[in-house]
């Protein structure tokens, strides 16, 4: 695994529940951080990562489901269509998966890594991952979508993660298996 110098924020960390600030004036440091986030995501077998997950309170995400890397600043969803349910995992919730209902198709606007405006329409898994990462920018996590049954089922695991959040430790790749590692 390539060292990135970044650490994942684990469930219980305050920044994961805090709304990320919009990036007012993007600069080279934002471009560098997006690249570091992408390296970190790949090194941990993720398919998406939001800046708050690495302790940065700014609205930036990276996403790659295998069809190309997106590096986005200030993403916002402007249109939602249809419904889909996908079992999701999260790098900030190791060992936890939750069935989440989301829009099947979305359109979003953001600044790309070159700081130019982009509009992206995504369906299926890609739409799911964008929604998941944008939720992180709003202080939301997959456990917020859990059914009452799942919340009871996950209570012990979430309590353990909350205690562990002080250590900011991400399991080594392969240590924990999940459906989707977003």
Average pLDDT value for residue range 121-129? 97
User: Does the pLDDT of residue 5 top 50, yes or no?
Assistant: yes
User: Does the pLDDT of residue 76 top 70, yes or no?
Assistant: yes
Q: Can you give the pLDDT at residue 158?
A: 84
Q: Can you give the pLDDT at residue 32?
A: 96
Average pLDDT value for residue range 45-68? 96
Average pLDDT value for residue range 35-53? 96
Q: Can you give the pLDDT at residue 156?
A: 84
Positions annotated as catalytic residues are: 133
Q: Of 43, 78, 71, 179, give the one whose Cα is nearest residue 133.
A: 71
Contacts of 4 (CB under 8 A, 6+ apart): 36, 39, 40, 43
Pick the CATH number of 14-167 from 3.40.640.10, 3.90.45.10, 3.30.70.660, 3.40.50.11540: 3.90.45.10
Average pLDDT value for residue range 126-139? 98
């Amino acid at each position: 695994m390539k060292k990135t110098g970044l650490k994942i924020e684990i469930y219980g960390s305050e920044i994961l529940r805090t709304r990320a600030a919009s990036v007012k004036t993007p600069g080279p440091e934002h471009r560098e951080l997006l690249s570091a986030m992408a390296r970190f995501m790949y090194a941990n077998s993720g398919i998406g990562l939001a800046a708050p997950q690495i302790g940065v309170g700014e609205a930036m995400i990276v996403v790659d489901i295998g069809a190309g890397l997106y590096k986005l600043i200030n993403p916002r969803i402007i249109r939602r269509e249809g419904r889909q349910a996908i079992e999701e995992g999260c790098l900030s919730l190791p060992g936890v998966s939750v069935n989440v209902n989301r829009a099947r198709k979305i359109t979003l606007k953001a600044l790309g890594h070159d700081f130019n405006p982009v509009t992206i329409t995504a369906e299926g898994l890609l739409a799911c991952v964008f929604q998941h990462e944008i939720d992180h920018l709003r202080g939301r996590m997959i456990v917020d979508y859990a059914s009452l049954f799942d919340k009871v089922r996950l209570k012990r695991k979430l309590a353990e993660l909350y205690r562990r959040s002080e250590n900011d430790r991400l399991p080594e790749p392969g240590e924990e298996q999940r459906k989707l590692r977003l």
